[in-house]
Amino acid sequence: MCGIVGYIGVQQAFPILTKGLHRLEYRGYDSAGVALINTDNRLNIYKSHGKVSELERFCESKDISGTIGIAHTRWATHGEPNDTNAHPHFSTDRRIAIVHNGTIENYTVLKQALEQHGCVFDSDTDTEVVVKLIEYIYRSTGCSLLNAVREALEQVVGAYAIAVISADAPDTIIAARKSSPLVIGIADGETFLASDASPIIEHTNQVVYLRDNEIAIIKRGEPLQVITNKNEPSTIDIQTLRMSVSQLEKGGYPHFMLKEIFEQPNTLFDCIRGRISADGTKVQLSGIEDNASRFINAKRIVLVACGTSWHAGLIGGRLIEELARIPARVEYASEFRYANPVISSDDIVIAISQSGETADTLAAIKLAKERGAFVYGVCNVVGSSIARATDTGTYIHVGPEIGVASTKAFTGQVTVLTMMALAIAQLKGTISPDALRSTAQSICKIPSLI
């Protein structure tokens, strides 16, 4: 997965950006790059195939001054891994730079149209098409950079998280998202931008998660502005991150996966805490209690997820049927969204995702809600897209998962789904008090047994 980092403030941007890229290395990547605007309002762009450390070495003799910049780690989709295809990409006059996560589905059509207007392309990427489109609108209409970005995004089909800077607007970053996460960190006189919170947390815990079809205007010395793609003001919801820098460090372990395996006693304790009474006679999940009639009257529960979360769903679906006596079906979110499923207002759809940003699961949620289903989220990241898109839900509270092979998130998901099955069974009266107590007490013993 690609990674984005951005900064504007009073400090030199380059070390902040590259440290942020190192925080994102767990996502996997093949190249890295950075774009900076120096004190002479010159846009300098440096990129390199390989690791972030190679980019840092490449930049040792370069002008890396500037207090505003954007950076990126790329996982090749369009075009082979090389210096040319690496981000940031830039306009023909090298005065506008962009970093981008996601896939532009209609980039071929846009590229052909731009070529007819004389645009020449250097890379094989869909991202270069976006920055050349922004440049074309900006130069041909004389509009502001913001309006050029907004108009370009109106013509784009696909998923994106982008950050744009320009030498013509040296104190501004424009960021936008659709179906790809983007978070903005707010500090005193500084603003940070990233594709997830890990590069931001050491600088501030005050963040804003951009919603789909929103554009952020980040200007030096001014409050954050957020508008929709239709140029309408959008509400800004500032949230407090519940993570620490220590959670993003290896803590003496040789790699994150081993660390996260050994974290499971603590993470499962956090997952269970406050949700099972001390004597095991009650399982309390507010998302279920506040919507008791939905669960009591549900005709069917459909669990949608991808990857590891889907495997957790297989266990959860079996437990819901066995304990709560509600028919349960488990679906790959990527197939559910294209299958024209039969969904009604009597159904409950449980969407499971560690990140809360899984694109296929988000699409499944949208489809389920369009067809009248009640949607319940099970995810890890507070304030994530799935947490906002669902009607209610339960966090697994296992902390950031850096290791690619999921461990603590999987066990956290299974634990929450087990508690959900018990809570629903408790509501419906399909489990005896003795069986509830015995099962609940067994769950509480798990952290000490690992």
Question: Distance between alpha carbon 324 and the CA centroid of its chain, in Å?
Answer: 32
Domain 251-449, CATH homologous superfamily name and number: Glucose-6-phosphate isomerase like protein; domain 1 (3.40.50.10490)
Residues with Cβ within 8 Å of 206's Cβ and at least 6 positions away in sequence, in order, are 185, 186, 187, 238, 239, 240, 241
What is the DSSP pairing of strand 160-166 with strand 96-101?
Answer: antiparallel
Cα gap 264→260, rounded to integer Å = 7
425-436 pLDDT, tens digit each: 999 999 999 999
**What is the percent of the chain with per-residue pLDDT over 90, rounded to a whole number?**
84
Q: Is the pLDDT of residue 244 over 90?
A: no
Burial group, residue 332, by CB count within 10 angstroms (0-12, 13-18, 19+): middle
The pLDDT value recorded for residue 400 is: 87
User: How does DSSP assign 349-417, residue by residue?
Assistant: EEEEESSS--HHHHHHHHHHHHTT-EEEEEESSTT-HHHHHSSEEEE-------SSS-SHHHHHHHHHH
Mean pLDDT of 255-259: 90
With b meaning 16 or more CB within 10 Å and e meaning fewer, what string describes 79-109? Answer: beeeeebbbbbbbbeebbbbbbbbbbeebee
pLDDT at 281: 93
DSSP state of 26: G
Q: Is the pLDDT of residue 1 over 70?
A: no
pLDDT per position as a tens digit, 128-178: 999 999 999 999 999 999 999 999 999 999 989 999 999 999 999 999 999
Whether 404 contacts 410, CB under 8 Å: no
Which amino acid would we find at residue 54?
A: E
**245 pLDDT above the threshold of 80:** no
Q: What is the pLDDT of residue 54?
A: 95
CA terminus-to-terminus distance, the chain = 31
The CA distance from 248 to 355, in Å, is: 15
The mean pLDDT of 31-59, rounded to a whole number, is 96
Instruction: Encode pLDDT of 263-296 as tens digits.
Output: 999 999 999 999 999 899 999 999 999 999 999 9
Tens of pLDDT, residue by residue over 332-360, are 999 998 888 999 999 999 999 999 988 89
**62-72 per-position pLDDT tens digit:** 999 999 999 99
Which stretch of 206-210, 217-221, 303-307, 398-402 has the lowest confidence by average pLDDT? 398-402
Q: Mean pLDDT, the chain, as a whole number?
A: 94
- Tell whether omega for the bond before 15 is within 30 degrees of 0, i.e. cis: no
State the Cα–Cα distance between residues 94 and 297, nearest whole angstrom. Answer: 60
What is the 8-class DSSP label of residue 418?
Answer: H
Return the domain boundaries, the chain.
3-241, 251-449
The predicted model gives 309-323 an average pLDDT of 97
When pLDDT is averaged across residues 72-83 and rounded to a whole number, the result is 87
Tell me the per-residue pLDDT of 193-237, one tens digit each, with 9 for 90 and over.
Answer: 999 888 999 999 999 999 999 999 999 999 999 999 999 999 999
Amino acid letter for position 46: Y
Q: Pairing mode, if any, of strands 3-8 and 68-74?
A: antiparallel
DSSP summary character for residue 88: P
CATH superfamily label, 3-241: Aminohydrolase, N-terminal nucleophile (Ntn) domain (3.60.20.10)
The structure's pTM equals: 0.85
The predicted model gives 5-20 an average pLDDT of: 97
Q: How confident is the model at residue 401 (pLDDT cuts 50, 70, 90)?
A: confident
pLDDT at 179: 87
233-236, long-range: CB < 8 A, 24+ apart: 236/208
> In angstroms, rounded to a whole number, what is the distance separating the alpha carbons of residues 89 and 128?
6
